[in-house]
Structure 1
């Protein structure tokens, strides 16, 4: 299907899930040719929590070191630069996206499922070491990142899709679902394709992306590394569903079927599942992901979503932080403000208050001036300098009424003041003024949200229009217009990064005779069948387009002429062995293929000319064959 329409544009909006902090520094470090394990270890040691988690991983049963690893340098050497990089990438996303604005998306359940997938896949790869377990742990953690991306970029729209699809899919769900169709309809992309694009953008190995794409297809008997990993992913999904299920017995038939393909009999399967589950709970504590999930209930409506402007309602109570070093006054004021329907938290000094406010911002801060070690004036200045500054309302409690003192207080950032001893009626009157400001801020935030929502709807409409403009309606493949644009992009990348690019021009053999003998409806069926069949033979990173008539064009990034030829042969054989069953044809559907590559081609015109010339030679030599110019 369409795989990267506007992906670069979507990245530019800065709304897609992205690693943060130390993970970004690590991605930058490992992209350098001169990066060393010592540099990597030094960077990790700057984060004690990350250091602890990597040491825990290095000493786990998955790595099975001969002696305990206590130094981060040893852990980096044992796991490897690529393994550490990918693991930190995954862990950073867990920390950054624990919650979000998508109402019907169960964030706790999503991460619990992703962690179960990571543990299950790493245990399976430990049994059959196609890929190192430390690498597959990351793959499992990010195997469904496309769902989180959709919930992050379009929270309201995706909430409606989840509601319409019937439920929030868990990470262990198998098979195609109504949700995927809704995603493609609304966003011109689905979670599976977006996952592959994100993994490619973050530099994860190509075998990960190909295996993910194949894992949703019927199990293949092939023993290539990609197919074995794909079967491990499919089994790990079933184990994940079992971990998250309330009624686990329902999953046993599927588990037993997968187990038989991984040298696990019915007697050893329960022990294996128990081992995975124990590790899942242990890792949940290490990276702070909840694994003891309660049963799912329908999502609650968002508080205050009445559809009416807050200014037209009776003004709601405020979230207030009350700061005073007098415990008696603090208790008395807190009780009186709570009686007035406000939600109050208390602190006894400015330092503690600053930490509390920054961690969980209130709407109003009421602070005494004279406190130790940090007074109210210093607290006000620090708050105004922070990112919360424009959104807080500050009231100072003070016994100072001199003109100079009050000027200093207002310059420090306060909005109002109340003199001591405190008159409760005066304080409540001043607070009502802050309530009106808070109500205006809520109204403005609502208007801003509505504008953002309309902008997103417009963006989606534009994506759908561009999808239609770039799609061949018969086959669902990208059309010639898209193929030419994409080829220009890939050629630019080829020249910039000095990497090869291959293309194939494919022509269905004897297609005219199908139209002449069976009619154009049958011809359309053959084109649709050939498009779907050929696409399955390609890698996840390859792009198959309808070039025109019975001709197709495949773009094969990062592949020279030899690699493109091997892929073309796989495609030719796959089409030959998968014939349309609903038609009675005089001869099997086959394809002739002409190859081109850059280098030796220098530009788009020469690349297409070489492939077209090779296709002509393939037709001349008898069809159902591959030729190069």
Structure 2
């Protein structure tokens, strides 16, 4: 890795400004104290809130949340604060710039997701401080921003090269005599990032070329940054490009002990935090679907589906002769739909796309062995349904046992005999047919279950609803009252009820008939529902009597609500076949008191107040307080 002064540059590099620069200068002194850093940080409210958020995020609920800058710096450490301040400063400064082909917003969106991924995987693997890994992830590709800043025109032209996506570093060296990884490492070293982290960052795009000893901490950090980078690449891919990346992520996740489900949960959580941080930093975070959806095979087009009796078979072998023979026999002699791959990694990506029913894979392959491919497939829900046949020239008892324990269903010894292959496929076909029948039955069962659930919900609704007024019935109302009573007890809140009765309703039925009476009930019920507040519950107790439950409402507020409701119904004009009918209600109001033992006591008190309102001449509200009744005029 070159030092910064040895890299040929013709313009000004991105650098932290303002508070971040002041923090950087303070950190270069040996006698700097936490209090001095805190005083500088507190002059920037945005930086202060970001550091507090990061400190609380890093703790992951293990300790109490903090709210002060001093506590945040103490938890993060001065070195991490310096790195974060630099990163956040660059994010704020370079939301756009002079390089036309460089997407500044996408760059920071990718960097933010990589930072969060590095932090999360760091916490899992204990390879370093998760807060420091966040800062390193955010700055890992700062060399690209630097080249866009120093050489805006030349770099813009370079990015438009058709090969830029695949060999960017080579093009940068060819045209600019440096590359973004080299420049990132030099800048991070200049800014004081430890060399134990700079080396892995320098090699993170191509970890296989790092030269670090397998299993060493630098090699593991390189793999961690590589995994974080590939997770961040999800933000740049389209739906059609994700299958190969998802298969690669499953393999990389396995290297740090994550199976497909655990990796999916982790990535979904990262995406959620990515969106939250994106809002804080004003960085766009695209809407990624859940990992389970991204990792599920895509629905095949009609022309990709196998014909009746034919199976979709994926053949994997790094020997082109064996691969050709198997393809010829399976496709031409047996009439199956065949897909082929020459490596385990290619096969895993292809399996996501083509949904094979059977996979025939060689055991010994250089990049990803047949056993590793089997484990990767079995780690997914859809991969557990595949019938796996292992090709091997090894047929000792130990190897065969190892293969079956890894998840294979059958094995074939090399060279493959066509008759034996045909016989093995009969068993595979029988398995596939049973699986298809089971999935059809399961789909039917799901449909029946869904229909039953809908029917049950309808029956429950009917059982709890008054058919005439569509209000909840007495049973539902008493249930709502019990819940309100329990909440009132739990939170020590007031609770009031109103019991309403339509005045002279029998006279309406006798004069106009029951059909008109029903119309009056419906209109009054609708009016009660309209006047009720959002948290109030209304039900029909029976006949012309209604109940309104008013949570967190004392006797005075309940009386005001009763009077408002009474006046509204008094003004109501009900037009029935040209006849205008006016109606009034009497209302009894009661609030929960210490002497009341249960919800029935409360309703009984409101009933007493209702009867007093009727005795006093109807069309009025009456309250009961500590056993004493009082009616409004």
TM-score, with structure 2 as normaliser: 0.46
Q: Which has the higher contact order (CA 8 A, sep 6+)?
A: 1
TM-score, with structure 1 as normaliser: 0.47
Is the radius of gyration larger for structure 1 or structure 2?
2
